[in-house]
Amino acid sequence: MITTVTKQGNSLGIQFPKSLWDNMCISENDHVEVWVKNHTIVIKKQDNRSHRTTKERLATFYGDTEMNVDQNQMPEINWGKPQGKEIW
């Protein structure tokens, strides 16, 4: 399929035929993730779960390498030397 990029407000947009969205099981108001990989735009339907556990949210925020989510251990942050009248 060849389509044209058009101006939509201050953005650019591409319209895809409904059959393409139907084939991907994506409909109006669904949430999708969009990213670029090797100069290719990738569109993926987002998981419909509206609730994530605290463990899932922390893993997303800190990433797997910076926090041991299973033991609920956050990395120590060095805030530097005291400045002013802070009590440490």
Spans of all domains in the chain: 6-45, 49-76
Instruction: Report the run of H or E that residue 60 belongs to, with start and end.
Output: helix 54-66
Q: How far apart are CA 22 and CA 40, in angstroms?
A: 21
Q: Count, in order, helices (H) and strands (E) of the chain.
A: 2, 4
Specify the pTM. 0.48
**pLDDT single digits (tens) 28-65:** 888 888 999 999 999 988 876 666 778 777 777 776 54
Domain formed by 6-45, architecture: Ribbon (2.10)
Q: How far apart are CA 14 and CA 48, in angstroms?
A: 24
